Amino acid sequence: MRSNDDDNQARLGPFVRIGTIRTPFDTAQGTPIQGGLSGKEEGRVVIDPVYREGLSDLDGFSHLILIYAFHRIEKAKLKVIPYLDRKERGVFATRSPCRPNPIGMTIVQLLEINEGIMRVSGVDMLDETPLLDIKPSIPAFDYHTAVRCGWFEPHLKRIEEQQIVPLADSRFHD
């Protein structure tokens, strides 16, 4: 059941590309830094034909969790200066793509499924991103009401007050 893209498969290690995420973003510069903040940006998730049967019953869900590979990251870093901040932080306290295992996750809104292609909104990944998995988003499982956001709290308040959509720069991509 593996995809035929051997070069890509070597880069994904034990993971299998089940599809490709297509977005309007060719470079990190100007890409929304979080799907939940972009909201309106649409993309397509093109599922490899061998995995399309797995989309059965997904059309009843409004939101999906896409798990994907940060395919353009060449080097992991344990300390990074995240978007919206000026202080160096431990990578595990951020959502930086420069991780030891370059795996990303975004919750998107499912707009339509048609012949193995899903139209979604809320994309924040680069075009041609390898898709590793899809999970339905279920609020009772995925959302928590009493949360703390550590060092990010002041940034979150600024985003809410100013109603801004933060965009990425090129700091994690050479």
The per-residue pLDDT for 80 is 87
pTM of the model: 0.78
List the domains of the chain with CATH numbers.
11-139+147-162 (2.40.30.70)
Phi, psi of 42 (to 5 degrees): -100, 150
DSSP annotation string for the chain: ---S-HHHHHHHTT----EEEE-S-SSSTT-BS-HHHH-S-EEEEEE-GGGGGGGTTGGG-SEEEEEEE-TT-----SEE--TT--S-EEGGGS--S--SS-EEEEEEEEEEEETTEEEEE---S-TTEEEEEEEE--HHHH--SS---GGGHHHHHHHHHHT---B--STT--
The per-residue pLDDT for 2 is 45
- Residue 3, pLDDT > 80, answer no
Residue 162 binned pLDDT confidence (cut-offs 50, 70, 90):
low
Residue 147 binned pLDDT confidence (cut-offs 50, 70, 90):
low
The per-residue pLDDT for 1 is 46
Residue 49: closest CA among 15, 17, 23: 17
Q: Which residue has the higher pLDDT, 19 or 163?
A: 19
- 153-172: average pLDDT: 64
